[in-house]
Structure 1
Amino acid sequence: MKGILFAILGGACITLQGIANTRISGSIGTWQAATLTQFTGFIVALIILMCVGAGKWREFQQVKPLYLAGGSFAAIIIFSNVTAIQQIGVTLMVSMLLIAQLGMTVIMETNGFFGLKKQKISGAQLIGIGMMISGVFLLKG
């Protein structure tokens, strides 16, 4: 249940962030908005870290360098979301984002990328993804 609530919170924040970034980019530019968002996100994460405790900083050296680049994807995510919202609107952007996430997840899990346990995709899951894609066409009108 806790995981579901965090997923809902994350999804809501992605939408709110996309709209806020689009408004910011209209005033100062898309990469400027991405930079500002990354900076404020860093500050908030740092404040939360200071409140909840230091954690396992000594284990930092054990993290694979490829995984350390994960945060850099956020700049691309912000730029892509802002540009997509400006071009196709929030609803269609979020729909396409979810389909892209599912598609990438299927590729990663079926191949065991990034140390994930290999998973087989079922027919029901493929039908579900197909229904989501169909839903995007209905939303697009």
Structure 2
Amino acid sequence: MYMFFYLLLAIIGGTCIGFQAGINGVLGKRIGVIEASFVSFFIGTIILLLLVIFAGKGNILNVTNVSKWQLLGGALGVAYVSIMVAIVPKIGVASAITAVIVGQLLISVTLDHFGIFTNQRIPIDWYRISGLCLLLVSLLLIFKGNIKWF
């Protein structure tokens, strides 16, 4: 039962990313790519600050004790949001999100195979390779709808 709940939460998270990409794409056309990325992160920062203050259970001061590479998540988030703000108006939400999913799964399968960030190695097998190939086909089919041949 818990696994279904976690899967449902992941699907909800994915819908948030889809909405975020569309909304930020429109915002980027109105105020600029970097400016829209800044506004998005600023609003997110305010919300997270309130969550840390009122619902946080950890110790944010421990951030000084972590390896510096563990702080790269914020920079990667900036890259992701800025890229999405720039490309969604050009290729659409569906193509952009499908391409993001392809990138996420390619790196995720690689990280699993080598056991990076986890204690468990999950080797690449034909099931995963087949899934990646089918996903690439889906990207091509979804993106093909963007191309006006005539």
Q: Same fold (TM over 0.5)?
A: yes
Say whether 1:53 aligns with 2:40.
Answer: no
Superposed CA deviations along residues 101-137 of structure 1, whole A, max 9, x for unmatched, are 0001112222233455332012111111111111122
Indicate whether 1:100 and 2:103 are aligned.
yes
Residue ranges of structure 1 left out of the alignment (5+ in a row)? none
| More divergent stretch after superposition (93-102 vs 118-127) | 118-127
AA aligned opposite 2:82: F
Structure 1 residues 48, 87: CA separation in 2 closer, same or farther (over 3 Å shift)? same
* Residues 71-120 of structure 1 deviation map (CA, whole Å, 9 limit, x = unaligned): 11111101111222122111111111101000011122222334553320
Match of 1:24 among 27, 31, 34: 27
Aligned counterpart in structure 1 of residue 66 of structure 2, from 63, 68, 92? 63
- Asked if the contact 1:108–1:116 (Cα under 8 Å) also holds between the matched residues in 2, the reply is no
Structure 2 residue 46 is matched with structure 1 residue 43 = yes
What amino acid maps onto 1:104 in structure 2? I
- Name stretches of at least 5 consecutive residues in structure 2 with no aligned partner: 145-150
Tell me the equivalent position of 2:7.
4
How far residue 54 of structure 1 moved from its aligned partner, in angstroms, is: 4.4
Paired-residue identity, %: 24
Counterpart pick for 2:76 among 68, 73, 77: 73
Q: Provide the rounded CA distance (Å) in 1 between the counterparts of 2:35 and 2:64.
A: 32
- Native 8 Å contact 2:109 2:128 kept in 1: no
Aligned to 1:85, which of 88, 97, 104?
88
Is the 2:26–2:89 Cα contact (8 Å) retained in structure 1? no
RMSD: 1.7
Q: Which has the higher helix share?
A: 1
Task: For 2:8 and 2:51, locate their aligned partners in 1 and report how far apart those are by CA, in whole Å.
Answer: 19
Question: Which AA in structure 2 matches 1:11?
Answer: G
Aligned residues: 141
